Amino acid sequence: MPPFSVLDLAPIPLGATPADALANTLDLARRAEALGYTRYWLAEHHNMVGIASAATAVVIAHVAAGTQRIRVGAGGIMLPNHAPLVIAEQFGTLASLHPGRIDLGLGRAPGTDGRTLRALRRDPSAADTFPQDVLELQALLGPVQPGQVVQAVPGAGTQVPLWILGSSLFGAQLAAMLGLPFAFASHFAPDALMQALDVYRSRFEPSAQLDRPYAMVGVNVIAAETDAEARHLFTSPQQSFTNLFRGTRGQLLPPIDDIDAYWSPEEKVQASRMLACSFVGARETVRQGLEAFVARTQADEIMVAAAIYDHRARLRSYEILAGLQGARAPEPTLA
């Protein structure tokens, strides 16, 4: 098995508060560190009543301060929402506070809807300059150059490792061109997974950060003592994805006994397609599914999301998964 890492959206269960969700995040991060997970990433979303990680850099600081060894980062920062200088300052500060532990994954999507994007005071066309913004951010985090007028302080010289996130061929092509590690969001958008991995690996150009391709793949894992219990827990994300198609936003719903009574046949097809890279069951069921998936993708690392309503069940799911491999991850090889 490749190394495992955690993707946490800081979900807010029905009836809970953002403070509850953030307390759960720190608790899970500490447990993930004890279990040997490699990194703990949080994602930027806005105007989502069921997600508490909107101020992503702030939550990363909270998690990094409450842990000791595990790498903590963004999976990711939606760069079109921000000026590269601001992100360089934020993550330069994080790297100064927690040297050698901060990752910066970058995405091109807004992480929200059009109206919220306008509330962020961002131009929708900002995504068109994503490659240039990545290069600008990379330069701001690199050594100060002679005559450089604008500097990120903190930030300059920290060389925070950058990752390109994607759910299409665009991210794969950019990561390959820049010689950066690539994380594919197959935990919710699996359709282009294999093609994107092929593009990334075949077109990769070594860089100062990375000398060979390094692909991380996102999956959902819901593990429990029995297959039936895990399938029951899985109805929470199944309801969430169904609600996406209905245009209904809300907090993470508790599991239900009969998911087929909740979704229509059409919604089932749509949600199941988005959740195709999900491994649900007892330990052996999850192991077999993941082994086949890793054999197919040759992933260097697996980033695991687990939208489980009950926090104790979520902790237990990550404990079961950690039992499948106990070795800590090697870092991507630097040139």
Contact (CB, 8 A) for 76 and 42: no
Q: Which are the contacts of 289, defined by CB distance < 8 A and separation ≥ 6?
A: 279, 281
Residue 124, burial from CB neighbour count under 10 angstroms (0-12, 13-18, 19+):
exposed
Rounded alpha-carbon distances, angstroms, from residue 197 to 66, 149, 215: 34, 38, 7
**Domain map of the chain by residue range?**
4-230+276-323
Tell me the DSSP string of 169-214. Answer: HHHHHHHHHHT--EEE-TTT--TTHHHHHHHHHHH----SS-SS--
Other Cβ atoms within 10 Å of 206 Cβ, number? 12
Which of the four CATH numbers 3.20.20.30, 3.50.50.60, 3.40.1260.10, 3.90.550.10 does domain 4-230+276-323 have? 3.20.20.30
User: Residue 50: helix, strand or coil by DSSP?
Assistant: coil
Tell me the DSSP string of 323-335. Answer: TT--PPPPPPPP-
Give the separation between CA 84 and CA 80, rounded to whole angstroms.
Answer: 9
The two beta strands, 102-107 and 71-78, are parallel
User: What sections of the chain are H helices per DSSP?
Assistant: 18-35, 56-65, 84-97, 114-119, 130-141, 169-178, 193-203, 227-246, 265-274, 283-297, 311-322
pLDDT tens sequence for the chain (335 residues): 999 999 999 999 999 999 999 999 999 999 999 999 999 999 998 888 999 999 999 999 999 999 999 999 999 999 999 999 999 999 999 999 999 999 999 999 765 667 777 777 667 676 788 999 999 999 999 999 999 999 999 999 999 999 999 999 999 999 999 999 999 999 999 999 999 999 999 999 999 999 999 999 999 999 999 999 999 999 999 999 999 999 988 999 999 999 999 999 999 999 999 999 999 999 999 999 999 999 999 999 999 999 999 999 999 999 999 999 753 444 444 43
Give the separation between CA 149 and CA 145, rounded to whole angstroms.
Answer: 9
Q: Which are the contacts of 169, defined by CB distance < 8 A and separation ≥ 6?
A: 192, 195, 196, 199
Give the separation between CA 77 and CA 44, rounded to whole angstroms.
Answer: 6
